[in-house]
Amino acid sequence: MSEPGYPSDTLKDFTPEPAEARRVVVLISGSGSNLQALIDAQAHDELGGEIVAVISNQADAYGLKRARDAGIDAVVLPHREYDSREAYDGALIKVIERHEPDLIVLAGFMRILTPRFVNRFLGRMLNIHPSLLPAYQGLHTHARALSDGVAEHGCSVHFVTEELDGGPVALQAEVAITPEDTEESLKAKVQAREHLIFPIAVCWYLEGRLRLEGDAATMDGTPLPPTGMRLSHADAAEELDEEIDD
């Protein structure tokens, strides 16, 4: 074999720097079961990055305990202490940027974000929404689906844009509604699916596979349909196993 173009001992002691872990900041307002799913995925090396901070607008959010128990910086930024939505979002931007995130994740964060905030992080902010978007944007999605008597419901991971729950959808999972379902039972079924698809979507983003390109979500460079990819329960379980095997 011909001699290399460098003194052969150049790389003798070369130790590549470990790739910087991609950094995730998670915003919450409540229980944090989706945050816990992300923490658990990280613990199994299935997240593709590190949750470096959790920020809540509610001081009594149980998700703050989940963060602290996992050794993650947990910050309370109460929106009621600010005179306007714009002032709050300005303070929130500063707290977030101190952690230098690659991705901001809204995991049950119950504040409508201003255009200034959204555009500061456009393309690197994902939300989990408890419906099959574009159906049931906004709040009280389970009660509305039950009231309408629809047979199918579910959850969506989408990029956050100025339009409330209107951003390009990356990933969805469906659940069947039965006549016996209550708001509580339906919420439990939907959240079980949320806990599967949210870590997968976050991991795909951090791996650089899922992106926002213009007005479309793309996967490996291919634009996704308006309702994103639909992941069955079996697919999601297999994907997680594959994440373990990778």
Q: Looking at the annotation, which residues are catalytic?
A: 129
Q: Give which of 70, 100, 77, 71 is closest to 28, Cα–Cα.
A: 77
Query: Nearer Cβ to ligand GAR, position 63 or 228?
Result: 63
Region binding ligand GAR by CB under 6 A among candidate stretches 16-24, 46-54, 76-84, 122-130: 122-130
Q: If binding is defined by CB under 6 A, does position 108 make contact with ligand GAR?
A: yes
Positions in the binding site for ligand LMY7XDAE (CB under 6 A): 106, 109-113, 118, 127, 129, 138-139, 160, 162, 164-165, 167
Query: Nearer Cβ to ligand GAR, position 19 or 68?
Result: 68
- Residue 114's contacts (CB-CB under 8 Å, 6 or more residues apart) are 85, 86, 89
Q: If binding is defined by CB under 6 A, does position 199 make contact with ligand GAR?
A: no
**In whole angstroms, how close is the CB of 24 to ligand LMY7XDAE at the nearest point?**
17
- Residue 25's contacts (CB-CB under 8 Å, 6 or more residues apart) are 51, 52, 53, 54, 55, 96, 99, 101, 103, 104, 105
Whether 32 has a binding-site annotation, put simply, is yes
Whether 110 has a binding-site annotation, put simply, is yes
In this structure, are residues 156 and 172 in contact, taking their beta carbons and an 8 Å threshold?
Answer: yes
Candidates 25, 26, 27, 32; binder of ligand GAR (CB under 6 A) is 32
Whether 119 has a binding-site annotation, put simply, is no
The amino acid present at 131, given as its one-letter code, is S
Distances (CA, A) of 24 to 12, 128, 134: 35, 15, 26
In this structure, are residues 217 and 228 in contact, taking their beta carbons and an 8 Å threshold?
Answer: yes
Q: If binding is defined by CB under 6 A, does position 130 make contact with ligand GAR?
A: yes
| % helix, strand, coil for the chain, step of 5 | 35, 20, 45
Residues that bind ligand GAR (CB under 6 A): 28, 30-34, 63, 107-108, 128-130, 139, 155, 191, 194
Annotated binding site: 32-34, 85, 110-113, 127
